[in-house]
Amino acid sequence: MNYRRLGRTGLKVSEVCLGTMTFGAAGWGNNEAESDAIFNFALDAGINFYDVANSYAEGESETILGRIMKGKRDKLIIATKVFNPMGTDINDSGTSRVHIMRSVEDSLRRLQIDHIDLYLIHHVDRETPTEERLRALDDLAHQGKVRYIGCSNEYAWRLCDALWISEVKNLARYEALQPQYNLLTRDIEEEILPVCRDKGVGVYVWGPLASGYLTGKYKVGEPPPEDSRFARRAESSMDRYLDPRIQKILEAVQDVAQELGKSMAQVALRWILEQEGITSVIVGSTKVEQLRDNVRCSGWSLPADALERLNEASAPPVRYPDSMELNIHERRANAVDMPTLEV
């Protein structure tokens, strides 16, 4: 397992982060014994980075993680999140100071730890002022209850605003962002990823395998495997993955995987790790066998030609203002000799 710095911080985390949303998720996730097996395999594989949220399985994911990591806490980097409703009270959701302060205590209790290594805002809160949530998070950092703070599913302009407020108000700043990113969904490349690279914000991504679609398990015209995620959902949930562009991407991933002797999942995960500014990929597994395959994305590199083919096959449409400005930038950047007037 290889390790990378989380953004500008000195914290080093594994290239693969274990997502624990399946821990305790009734009906589709893992019971405690299964979760324990997955956790211990991850630990043996060198994974030191574990992601959870207070709302996963209504708190049961944190509770199970807390029990199975006993005696191993010092080796681990634990990230959890706050936002979603955790009760019926009007203030039991969002990122108000009240909810943040209550939620961190609840997460610490469920996880059975005295501090959280990375505490993230789970979703965009359009009602709470940014400074209010940052001051609450800053207080938690000064109290020693959290080490670093971050956010998830955030807009680029809002991230910039938060970083600016932290700088001018001398508050703890977001050191990590957790966005969705994969070969089928490259939206963050427009603005979010460039901001993170420029500001030194670490990026560890969720959904790197597009709900398993990039593993090749789902076939056009065939029903999904009985034990798969899509088998438990409405048929329409697969529709967005069946258009010609996505089939082209899947074919490219499959071709590269066959050439390199890798699985499609390993190629898809490795492609993300090859992108500048990416720290880690979150993989959530319901079986040890899935995790065993996924962790093999670490420790090697895609050949340049394979990387180029994947980039081309998955290239998203160019949108304004890039549709206008990129050509202008290229002309200016490639200009070597400018004509001069004789005098």
Strands 3-5 and 12-14: what pairing?
Answer: antiparallel
Which whole-number Å values give the CA distances from 162 to 35, 150, 155, 240, in the listed order? 36, 10, 11, 33
Catalytic residue among 56, 119, 174, 181: 56
Give me Rg for the CA atoms of the chain: 21
Q: What is the pLDDT of residue 232?
A: 56
Instruction: Look at residue 153 and tell me whether its pLDDT is greater than 90.
Output: yes
Q: What is the pLDDT of residue 277?
A: 98
Q: What is the pLDDT of residue 337?
A: 59
How much is the mean pLDDT over the chain?
93
Q: What is the pLDDT of residue 156?
A: 98
Range 283-307 average pLDDT: 97
Chain centroid offset of residue 114 CA: 25
Q: What is the pLDDT of residue 326?
A: 82
Q: Let me know: does 18 contact 283? Beta carbons within 8 Å.
A: yes
Q: Concatenated DSSP letters for 283-320?
A: E--SSHHHHHHHGGGSS----HHHHHHHHHHHPPPP-T
Q: What is the pLDDT of residue 222?
A: 64
Band (pLDDT 50/70/90 cuts) for residue 329 is confident
Strands 16-19 and 49-51: what pairing?
Answer: parallel
Instruction: Look at residue 224 and tell me whether its pLDDT is greater than 70.
Output: no
Q: What is the pLDDT of residue 225?
A: 66
Buried b (16+ CB within 10 A) or exposed e, 225-243: eeebbbeeeeeeebeebee
Instruction: Look at residue 300 and tell me whether its pLDDT is greater than 80.
Output: yes
Architecture of domain 3-218+262-301: Alpha-Beta Barrel (3.20)
Instruction: Look at residue 46 and tell me whether its pLDDT is greater than 60.
Output: yes
Q: What is the pLDDT of residue 221?
A: 62
Band (pLDDT 50/70/90 cuts) for residue 332 is confident
Q: Concatenated DSSP letters for 77-139?
A: EEEEEE-S--SSSTTSSSS-HHHHHHHHHHHHHHHT-S-EEEEEE-S--SSS-HHHHHHHHHH
Instruction: Look at residue 48 and tell me whether its pLDDT is greater than 70.
Output: yes
Range 312-319 average pLDDT: 94
**Helices 32-44 & 60-68 angle (0-180, nearest 10):** 60
**Phi, psi (rounded to 5 degrees) for 178:** -120, 95
Q: What is the pLDDT of residue 244?
A: 85
Residues in CB range of 44: below 8 A, 6 or more apart? none
Instruction: Look at residue 230 and tell me whether its pLDDT is greater than 70.
Output: no
276 vs 338, higher pLDDT: 276
Q: pLDDT tens for residues 106-130?
A: 999 999 999 999 999 999 999 999 9
Q: What is the pLDDT of residue 243?
A: 79
81-85, 100-104, 242-246: which has the minimum mean pLDDT?
A: 242-246
Question: What is the reported pTM?
Answer: 0.91
Band (pLDDT 50/70/90 cuts) for residue 292 is very high
Tokens read off for 11: 């914290």
Percent of the chain scored above 90 by pLDDT? 82
Q: What is the pLDDT of residue 96?
A: 98
Percent of the chain scored above 70 by pLDDT? 91
Band (pLDDT 50/70/90 cuts) for residue 217 is confident
64 vs 334, higher pLDDT: 64
Establish whether 119 is a catalytic residue: no
Residue 87 neighbours by CB distance under 10 Å: 11
Residues in CB range of 253: below 8 A, 6 or more apart? 183, 214, 216, 264, 267, 268, 310
Q: pLDDT tens for residues 172-209?
A: 999 999 999 999 999 999 999 999 999 999 999 999 99
Q: Let me know: does 279 contact 203? Beta carbons within 8 Å.
A: yes
Q: Let me know: does 106 contact 82? Beta carbons within 8 Å.
A: no
